[in-house]
Amino acid sequence: MFKVQVRFALLALLLPLLLNATHILKDDILNPKAEKLVETMADELLSKTGINAYVVATNENFPERYNLVAYSKKYEANVSKPYVMLIFAPNALITKKSGETGRVALIPSSQELASLYDKSDVMDATIDVIAAKDKNTKEDKFNIGVVQGFSELADQIADSRNVEMTTTLPNETRYIIKGLQVIVIIGALLVFWMFIFRPIYMRIRYGKTK
């Protein structure tokens, strides 16, 4: 009798953990490899920061301006706070006029969590892969996009907590963009120097006038 009680007690303790073991709440898109990468990154992020990151990858055909925040509420029973939920909906309609589809949303459990990452960077990391013109199939791009976006999210949250992730993927696009930004800034400074500051400096130094 005592052994039975112990088993029930252990089951009661483990059941909530088992129910929340997966960080993929809905999966209409991901292949097994992508699923494993997401789960591995999510597990490491949770162990190092105490923050859960979830993915909802859905093929649902959401209409224009569909409220993804309200949509995320249906998964609340399956998540543990604190959390950030990445929703990827490639068939969601952006505008009727353009006919374009594909939406990405990030739903944090609090505003404090929202401050731990740059929403635009995470969305760009997801969408840039999908928008790229290459030989990858649409399905492959969806998988890569979700994994890359989730990786960016995990990296940024970890950075904000001063910990380093070892299972995330390098975001080459991010570094290329930052490099281009530096080049643009340097170019702008050179233009200002040549056409504005240098003439002023020369007039002051040599007493020249127009």
For the chain, the domains span 2-170, 171-210
β-pairing, 101-108 vs 83-93, is antiparallel
From the CB of residue 170, how many other CB atoms can be counted at a distance below 10 Å?
10
Report in angstroms the alpha-carbon separations of 138 from 62, 73, 90.
19, 28, 10
Distance, in Å, from the CA atom of 179 to the CA atom of 22, rounded to the nearest integer, reads: 37
Q: What are phi and psi of 137, to 5 degrees?
A: -70, 165
pLDDT tens digit sequence for 118-133: 999 999 988 877 777 7
**Helix-then-strand count for the chain, H and E:** 8, 4
* Whether pLDDT at 41 is above 70: yes
Query: What fold does the segment set 2-170 form as a domain?
Result: Diaminopimelate Epimerase; Chain A, domain 1 (3.10.310)
Report in angstroms the alpha-carbon separations of 146 from 33, 34, 89, 97, 174.
12, 8, 10, 26, 15
Q: Identify whether the C-beta of residue 157 lies closer than 8 Å to the C-beta of residue 45.
A: yes
Return the percentage of the chain with pLDDT > 90, whole number.
56
Mean pLDDT of the chain: 82
User: In terms of Cα–Cα distance, which of 129, 131, 133 is closest to 150?
Assistant: 129
3-state secondary structure of 92: strand
pLDDT tens digit sequence for 42-96: 999 999 999 999 999 999 999 999 999 999 999 999 999 999 999 999 999 988 8
Distance, in Å, from the CA atom of 50 to the CA atom of 75, rounded to the nearest integer, reads: 19
Structure pTM? 0.72
State the burial class of residue 45 (Cβ atoms within 10 Å of its Cβ: 0-12, 13-18, 19+).
buried
